[in-house]
Amino acid sequence: MKQLFLALMALGAAPVWADAPQAIDVTVTASGDTARFDVTITHPDTGWDHYADGWEVLAADGTRLGMRELVHPHVDEQPFTRSLSGVVIPAGATAVMIRTRCNVDGWSADTVTVALP
């Protein structure tokens, strides 16, 4: 019984991870073979110790097409939108994926698939 109690106590002491950043809206504006991405992200930023610090545009095969680094927390600006221009879109591509990152938990396991115009 003592071992069960200690195991449960250890689980209670495990770190609680905050929600991963989420891309909740994406607007794509195409211009020739490049595109501009306006991505709206929500994340429970707490300050410099934990904040959404980037997002990337991925091709269907996982190749990175572009990345937007976020260099400061957005504690009082949630959700927030940031843009990335000049992303070269591969010929024939009909969709891309957006993946977010935070400075504590790293890259999110989830992506958002976005149809290209």
Q: What is the pLDDT of residues 81-116, one digit of tens each?
A: 999 999 999 999 999 999 999 999 999 999 999 999
**61-84: average pLDDT:** 94
Residue with tokens 């938990």: 105
The tokens for 114 are 């976005």
Q: What is the pLDDT of residues 9-26, one digit of tens each?
A: 344 433 445 588 999 999
CA atoms within 13 A on the CB side of 71: 0
Average pLDDT, the chain: 86
Residue with tokens 């115009």: 117
Domains and CATH numbers, the chain: 21-115 (2.60.40.730)
What's the alpha-carbon Rg for the chain, to the nearest Å?
A: 18
Q: Please give the biggest Cα pair distance in the chain.
A: 68
Cα–Cα distance measured from residue 47 to residue 2, given in angstroms and rounded to the nearest whole number: 39
